[in-house]
Amino acid sequence: MANAEHLKILTSGVRNWNQWRDENPACRPDLRGAWLLEADLSLANLREADLAGASLKSANLFRADLSRADLSEAQAPRARLIGADLSEASLNKANLLYASFSSANLSRANLNRAFLRWATFHGANLTGAILRKANLTGADLSHATLTACDLSNSDLSATNLTGANLVAANIERARIYGSSVWDIKTDDRTNQEGIIITPEGQPEVSVDDVEVAQFIYLLLSNEKLRRIIDTITSKVVLILGSFSDGLLHELRRNLRERGDYVPVVFDFEKPANQDLTGTVETLARMARFIIVDLTNPRSVPAELASIVPHLRKTAIQPIIRQDEEPYALFDDMRSYSWVLDPIRYLNRASLVASLNEILAAAEQMTAKLRR
């Protein structure tokens, strides 16, 4: 419970309270040596209280009722507001450096231009809250509810937004340099226009998707990642088929030894625990070209039917054993110009011998498609 003396002084007026805080500035250890907070207002009923400009540094406001309270320009660095009710409260321009709002209710609260660097909002409810131009650098907003929250022009640099709910939120022109945005929730109503991914003081680079923003910044700032992306888009060859006789390994080894390709193999002989079509589509869109073995097909027909119509810039070179014929519906695939005629092979040795022909045909079509 709140310290009765502290609560009495606070409710007597902000001027009296601030004077008392000035006269009693230091924390003091209790009998166990632990440091006591300067002001204990835990569980206090401060609903609709006028606390504008109040000195609340390091104050304990655990589960206090501050709904509709006016805390404008309050000085409350390191304040403990864990579980507090701040719904519809005004914290305009308040100093809340390192303050803790974990599990607090800040729905429809006004934190316009508030100083919230390194504050903790883990699991807090900020539905409909106003945080325009707020400084949230380094703040923890993980798993916070930010539904319909206005974060436009705010500074979210180095902020942890992991698992945050940003459905219908406004983060237009927010700066998210160095932020963590894993598993965030957004929808078509989330305004993500002009999100800034560069630090303050540098030329602005902006994108219109918060999750893409994280990737783009990594791409710009990480030379190794840029090389990886270049490798993926210029060297990856996707190999599809059922290769139970070891043909898979032979084909992959020969491609790898050439040095110009990075073979990625999807073997339909092995069971998969995830959606095959989605996996193959993702790999296909990354590939320079695709080699697909039509011999004794299993899932290959279904996967080709799914990916071929959409891969207008990706050559597909089928291969097949000499004594086999393509499955019946393969003729439908041949209507697409980027699907080449099958190249036949007799055995493992003849496939290796035909590799130059396979690669030349695929490269020629790739050059044509990308011209």
Tens of pLDDT, residue by residue over 254-269, are 888 887 888 887 766 5
What pLDDT score was predicted for residue 161? Answer: 96
Residue 60: strand, helix, or coil: strand
Average model confidence (pLDDT) for the chain?
Answer: 87
Q: How far apart are CA 305 and CA 280, in angstroms?
A: 11
Q: What's the CA gap between 126 and 87, in Å, rounded? A: 8
Q: Rounded CA gap, 331 and 327, in Å? A: 8
Residue 273: the pLDDT is 44
What confidence tens digit (pLDDT) does each residue in 133-143 have?
Answer: 999 999 999 99
How far are the Cα atoms of 32, 60, 102, 206, 365 from residue 36, in angstroms, in the given order? 10, 9, 20, 45, 74
Distance (Å, rounded) from C-alpha 271 to C-alpha 370? 35
299/151: higher pLDDT? 151
pLDDT of residue 116 exceeding 80: yes
Phi, psi of 283 (to 5 degrees): -65, -40
Q: Is residue 286's pLDDT more than 90?
A: no
Q: How far apart are CA 370 and CA 123, in angstroms?
A: 48
Distance between alpha carbon 34 and the CA centroid of its chain, in Å? Answer: 39
Single-letter residue type at 54? A
Amino acid at 245: D
- pTM surpassing 0.75? no
Name beta bridge partners: 315: 289
Rounded CA gap, 163 and 135, in Å?
20
Rg (CA), the chain: 31
Tokens read off for 174: 């927010």
Q: Residue 339 pairs with which residues in a beta bridge?
A: 316
Residue 130 DSSP SS3: strand
How large is the average pLDDT for residues 95-105? 97
**Is CATH 3.60.10.10 correct for 226-370?**
no
Residues 19, 24, 27, CA angle at the centre, nearest 5°? 140
pLDDT at 264: 83
Which three-class secondary structure state does DSSP give residue 338? coil
Highest-confidence range of 5-19, 141-155, 276-290, 293-307, by mean pLDDT? 141-155
Question: CA-CA distance, 192 to 165, in Å (whole number)?
Answer: 14
Read out DSSP for 70-128? Answer: B-TT-B-TT-B-TT-B-TT-B-TT-B-TT-B-TT-B-TT-B-TT-B-TT-B-TT-B-TT
Residue 74 has which token pair?
């309050």
Contact (CB, 8 A) for 191 and 132: no
- Reference 317, options 294, 296, 342; nearest CA is 342
What proportion of the chain, given as a percentage, has pLDDT over 90? 55
Of 32 and 228, the structure prediction assigns the larger pLDDT to 228
**Domain ranges (residues) in the chain:** 226-370
Q: What pLDDT was estimated at residue 95?
A: 98
80: its two tokens: 């403990």
- Please check the confidence at residue 290 and state whether its pLDDT lies above 80: yes
For residue 337, give every residue at least 6 positions away whose Cβ sits within 8 Å of its Cβ, in sequence order, or none: none
Could you report the per-residue pLDDT of 325-339, keeping only the tens digit for each?
888 888 888 889 999
